[in-house]
Amino acid sequence: MKPVVAIVGRPNAGKSTLFNRLTRTRDALVDSVAGVTRDRHYGSASFNNVDFTVIDTGGFYFSDSDQFVQKTHDQVRYAITDADAIIALFDGAQGISPHDHDIVDLLRTTTKPVFFAVNKMDHIKREDSLADFYSFGIEEVFPVSAEHGHGIYELLEKVVGALPQSAPEENGEAIRLAIIGRPNVGKSSLVNRILGEERVIVSEVPGTTRDAIDTRVEVNGQKYLLIDTAGIRRKAKVHEKLEKYAVVKAMDAIARCDVALILIDAADGIVEQDIKIAGYAYEKGRACIFLLNKWDLVEKGDHTFKKYKEDLQYQASYMSYAPFLTISALTGRRVPKIFEAIETVYTQFSHQSATGPLNRIIQNATEQTEPSMFRGRRLKFFYATQIATKPPTFVCFVNYPEGVHFSYQRYLVNRIRESLGLDKVPIRLFLRKRGGEATHPRRKKKHLTKPGKKQEKRQGKKGKR
């Protein structure tokens, strides 16, 4: 288990910038608007061969106008509880703020090592104001610039020196799960239900989650990385810069996950935007599970489940292989069933097939249903092999790939599904030309050894010259 360092401070002090600097990523959203970060954001960092985890937190301040203040405060307190060391970040450009007094008072209640850093010390003139921060009764203050890296080395030397020795981590790959969907469909509620704590802020206000929040959890001995994402609205309705950033982060989460959990609000039914979001995961080749959330709010009939499933399969017919579950993140109903489905889907998603059995599948398929002729020539499938997993990706070598109709290619994919038991994941099949084959069935090869009459005349004229 790696030691943990939490970064705390008032809004717009540069916590997310420092987080990105330490983790050497751009995972945390950074903007001049205060209050961009609300939830705890975890990342990995390393300094002098010491690996540790960094927590970015929301700004700690008091306000009557922001309804998320108390929940953000709770997230900051959770981070302090989880941390082995704490970096309290002040804003050197703005000077001391009443909110700085609040965060210092909070940190006086902990016995964990706290390191006070004054950010945005980019100019020599600003160092004159550094003495003001000693008025808190602090023994040492570190002038830093999170944006440019000044003073970060000196700060990390002290922080890493105070960290406990990390325990060796257990082997085992974590399955990456991206929880995606429209705003306010219950993504954060599902994360909190799985973790058994309020890991991310939940509110009825759409757009509460702005960033992609990574959380590690272990269920039934299997490690998972849960990625809670911001709600993806229709492009026409996305105007604010922060919301555009949030959508970009959500799309990035889809690209790096293994399994996408697509949440749909059962009370609203299956709408067009749900299908578009599913399409994003399909285009990235991710394994998917449809979760119809808030099922406890739906009036049940004799064929309610069947109607929802038929509607989904009709609108997303290209993803008919994806499992479909009804859950309630609020009550926890059928939430454990999600991990049973994930285990099955991930096993198929990681499947590796030997070349021999795969070739027999293609041979049997082509013998049972022969491909149509292409410009008077018969199509020949020579051999097939699997070139990748996640998703399972296959290549068939053919004499004329351009002559294989898409319907026959789909037929081969279905035969691979049936034969290998890959009925719940996307499959990619590429057709390639075997080396040495003619590029066109009716195009004659040019004889380069014997020149034609016109070529002989040209050569004769050149000789006379």
Residues whose CB falls within 8 Å of the CB of residue 233, separated by 6 or more in sequence, listed in order: 182, 183, 243, 247, 273
Reference 269, options 239, 311, 330, 240; nearest CA is 311
The pLDDT, as a whole number, for residue 459 is 55
Residues whose CB falls within 8 Å of the CB of residue 182, separated by 6 or more in sequence, listed in order: 231, 232, 233, 265, 271, 273, 274, 277
- In eight-state DSSP terms, residue 28 is S
Reference 279, options 403, 419, 180; nearest CA is 180
- pLDDT, averaged per 10 consecutive residues of the chain (465 residues), comes to 87 88 75 49 87 84 52 77 90 83 87 92 68 85 91 94 74 84 88 74 43 76 87 65 68 90 93 93 95 89 84 92 94 93 96 94 94 90 94 94 94 96 95 63 44 54 53
Residue indicated by tokens 């499992």: 323
Strand 393-398, strand 381-388: pairing: antiparallel
The DSSP-derived string for 348-411 is: HHT----HHHHHHHHHHHHHHSPPPPBTTB---EEEEEEEETTTTEEEEEES-GGGS-HHHHHH
- Reported as half-sphere exposure (CB side, CA atoms, 13 A), residue 67 has a value of 7
Instruction: Name the amino acid, one letter, at 179.
Output: I
How is residue 300 written in tokens?
């049940």
The full set of domains in the chain, from first to last, is 4-161 (3.40.50.300), 175-349 (3.40.50.300), 352-465 (3.30.300.20)
Contact of 460 with 454, CB cutoff 8 Å: no
pTM of model > 0.85: no
* 3-state secondary structure (DSSP) of residue 155: helix
The pLDDT, as a whole number, for residue 428 is 95
- Range list of H helices, 390-465: 406-420, 453-464
How is residue 281 written in tokens?
């995961």
The pLDDT, as a whole number, for residue 416 is 96
The pLDDT, as a whole number, for residue 327 is 95
The pLDDT, as a whole number, for residue 303 is 72
The pLDDT, as a whole number, for residue 66 is 47
Give the C-alpha distances (Å, rounded to integers) separating 196 from 55, 219, 311: 19, 12, 33
The pLDDT, as a whole number, for residue 38 is 47
CA-to-CA distance for 88 and 371, rounded, in angstroms? 68
Could you check whether the bond before residue 391 is cis, i.e. omega within 30 degrees of 0? yes
Helix 69-82 vs helix 98-107: crossing angle, to nearest 10: 40
Reference 254, options 229, 217, 291, 225; nearest CA is 229
305 φ, ψ (degrees, to nearest 5): -60, -45
The pLDDT, as a whole number, for residue 181 is 92
